[in-house]
Amino acid sequence: MRITVDVKAGSNRDSVELIEEGHYMVHVKAPPRKGKANAAIVKLLRRHLGRPVILVSGHTSNRKVFEVQE
C-alpha cells in the first residue's frame, strides 16, 4: 500500500496526523539536511503504523510517497 506524506521538517515537535485515507501530515524536529528528516519520518511512520515503510519518491520534496509493507 502506498501513502502520501506532507512533511514539516525542523518543526518543534514530532507527530503524525491522518488527513484522509492514505494521506498524512508529519512534523519532525530533524532538519531537512543530509537525510536526517527522511530518517526521522521513516522512524515515526514505522512506529505509528506498526509496519516497515520505504521512501519511494520525494527524497528532497515536502510531499513524499512511502510504500507500507504488508
pLDDT confidence band for 70 (50 / 70 / 90): confident
pLDDT of residue 13: 96
DSSP 7-70: EEET-SS-EEEEEETTEEEEEESS-SSTTHHHHHHHHHHHHHHSS-EEEEE-TTSSEEEEEEP-
pLDDT of residue 44: 97
In which residue are the cell numbers 527524497 written?
59
pLDDT of residue 34: 93
> Are 29 and 10 contacting, i.e. CB atoms less than 8 angstroms apart?
yes
Q: Domains in the chain, please, with CATH?
A: 2-68 (3.30.1200.10)
